[in-house]
Amino acid sequence: MNKEISTPFRTKEILAKYGFTFKKSLGQNFLIDSNVLTKIVDQAELTPESGAIEIGPGIGALTEKLAKRSKKVVAFEIDQRLIPILEDMLSPYPHVTIRHSDVLAADVHQVISEEFDEGQDLMVVANLPYYVTTPILMKLLEEKLPVRGIVVMIQKEVAERIAAKPGSKEYGSLSLAVQYHAIARTALTVPKTVFVPKPNVDSAVLHLELREKPPVDLMSESYFFEVIRASFGQRRKTLLNNLQNNLLGKENKPMIEEVLSETGIDGKRRGETLSMEEFAALSNAFYKRKDMN
């Protein structure tokens, strides 16, 4: 019986055996708590028929847990030095495939069609490096992959921003960008003590359930996000000021006021108080006028 990868002793043993040293530039922090790993996998609600996609498997602690619960695991690992370690550690699991590849540069649709059955239940489950959390999440969401959801361990503060509701100080353009594609919630908080090396901040597990269709009807998705980014341009400024300064120009103040009044939104409010529905109404009304000019 092979010993579980995720214990502190076993992790130390594996790192020593291969002379592995952590690369700060890759944001490598390995999880050494079996209970936390089990909780992460529980969140994914995998069945023996499910497929799992992992990003940044490290030495395979989470990969091993996923392998025990699913039909197939495909893991993207950017660090060449980890490939032989993973192949060795995961040799008892022939249904695990390791791809030496940067997920940001990978054609994930292509990988899914090559590695999984059509229509198979798929989940992304990962302990993401902090420095690329947002680009990876946005890529996975914007590419509209055929996955049921995403369960990721990320920096606690970022997880709170993503799952934030209107009116809270964490709520911003990132909350809206993610919640447009998925229903977001923070599933559990994870202390920094269960990682090696220990990061400077606590982490949280974020659960994203992908939406079948967007929660709002838009005339232009890209313009909707432009309006959102402009509205949060300077957080302390009012919505009217931000729309003037960052999107439409001071010369369009009368038109901005007209649209605000038409949509029933007070221009003295701040961006963080607006719901997604209000941003949709605003962006559609501005977009209509843009079309008329």
- As a whole-number percent, the residues of the chain with pLDDT over 70 amount to 98
pLDDT at residue number 58: 93
Count the helices and strands in the chain (H runs, E runs): 12, 9
- Look up residue 27 and give its amino acid: G
Distance of alpha carbon 265 from alpha carbon 258, whole angstroms: 10
Residues forming the annotated binding site for S-adenosyl-L-methionine? 29, 31, 56, 77, 102, 127
Distance of alpha carbon 30 from alpha carbon 106, whole angstroms: 23
Q: What does the pLDDT average to over 141-170?
A: 95
Structure tokens at 193: 């003590």
Domains of the chain, by residue range, sit at: 8-210, 221-292
pTM of the model: 0.92
- CB-based contacts of 67, cutoff 8 Å, min separation 6: 73, 90, 93, 95, 96
State pLDDT tens for residues 198-232. 888 999 999 999 999 999 999 999 999 999 999 99
Q: What does the pLDDT average to over 84-104?
A: 96
pLDDT band at 291 (very low <50, low <70, confident <90, very high): low
- Domain 221-292: which topology? Helicase, Ruva Protein; domain 3 (1.10.8)
Residues forming the annotated binding site? 29, 31, 56, 77, 102, 127
Q: What does the pLDDT average to over 89-108?
A: 96
Assess whether pLDDT exceeds 60 at residue 283.
yes
Q: What is the CATH number of domain 8-210?
A: 3.40.50.150
State pLDDT tens for residues 159-196. 999 999 999 999 999 999 999 999 999 999 999 999 98
Assess whether pLDDT exceeds 80 at residue 105.
yes
